[in-house]
Chain A
């Protein structure tokens, strides 16, 4: 087995699953769902870490407080926290978050994904790459990389619920 980059990560207890109480208006079919930070968090919290059988929420990589959503202006900013400052998986984790949101959110949203300030030694380089649409498009045409991303995303649908 290859050496792990972070062999002993701190594990956090997931917050409660969000059980939204739908208002009568929200239950009507024609109601257009407004996206908020809880919804975005639910979409990404159960993505698996590339090197541990744990979710981004369990590793505190994804945190609700670090997601900002401006629905009216269709803008989302997400900061994620690598488990260690020299984590070489940071770009891959960011790519997984981006792909998950590309697949799940309405097209109108513009999303910036960044490493939380001060949590990675190559913060700027990682941020630049993650927000370069050409680099992302090319990465998604790389079958090997896509396979790894899809593996990490295979648990994403759980939205914080226990393993099934």
Chain B
């Protein structure tokens, strides 16, 4: 029996490179954004045809780099090279309106992530900073903290799946973990090991593990060891310590731009400058109650030339049990594709 990825839909409409895609929390809507300064929303109808239901435009004056849904699915946040973060809300008629723009970043905003509680938003950018925003009522967003510990561009921010813990990935080759103590946000750990820019990060469903994708052509898996852990990993200042337990190298031939860790089945998908989507699964012989440095992932499927001859910028697993094997991708060809992982 072999596992393979096959394409089930090709979504055309963007007129420039697509940078990001994001499934709504229920998976009913797929949002995409990119170099044409628009956000497109895609829905599949009863005939399994994919239709672009909304084009959100007019607010951002430059590339829209990243997009994130609020956990209740009612709002969208966008980060743009024009330095602004846009907040979009669906009106009664079904149209979306930009209800707020968050100013603060000095230049390109590169990533936005909505915390699972719904009450916090994080953004980051070329100005080397990470911003934490409080989501108030009536679209009132207040900046709680500006974190400046990274020494270079911050490429991506991602919230923990259950707690108010944030991870950020940077051009300075490190990942930082941010926590709050009495309204004070601080860096609780710095993850070092990658040899070049880290473009993307994602947590597993428990939040105890993190995967990172780098320009050094490798993926790394990191585990969080709490203080007084059984494994005897030394922790500092009573903070958990993140440690790399597995490096996946020798697969991607060029920079890895994106990685997604399925919260449903635990498989990891990645892609990037080698135009190839790869899916990794934990090897059965290494499955135990916890992943350790003996844990190994092997590649179970791949698609070369997934977007023709160009880069793949984003991969995202479908978020729920409904279609856990669906994967959405965004490419430099301006197309969004949906794939299914199947065994035959």
A residues engaging B (CB < 8 A)? 74, 107-108, 110, 128, 131-135, 137-138, 141
Contacts and interface: CB of A to CB of B under 8 A. Distances in A.
B108 interface: yes
B197 A141 contact: no
Contacts of B17: 137
Contacts of A137: 17, 35, 63, 81
B309 A108 contact: yes
Q: Across chains A and B, which 6 residue pairs bring their CB atoms closest together, nearest first?
A: A108-B309, A141-B62, A138-B108, A138-B81, A107-B309, A141-B81
B197 A133 contact: no
Interface of B: 17, 35, 62-63, 65, 81, 107-108, 110, 126, 153, 155, 171, 196-197, 215, 254-255, 273, 308-311
Given A107-B310, A137-B63, A138-B81, A128 B171 contact: yes
Given A110-B254, A134-B110, A74 B65 contact: no
A106 to B, nearest CB: 8
Given A128-B171, A128-B197, A134 B311 contact: no
B155 A134 contact: yes
A131 B310 CA distance: 15
Contacts of A74: 309
A138 B125 CA distance: 12
Contact of B65 (A107, A110, A132, A134): A134
A134 B171 CA distance: 11
Given A107-B310, A128-B171, A137-B17, 7 more contacts: A74-B309, A110-B254, A133-B255, A138-B62, A138-B63, A138-B81, A141-B62
A74 B65 CA distance: 27
A41 B35 CA distance: 30
A116 B326 CA distance: 44
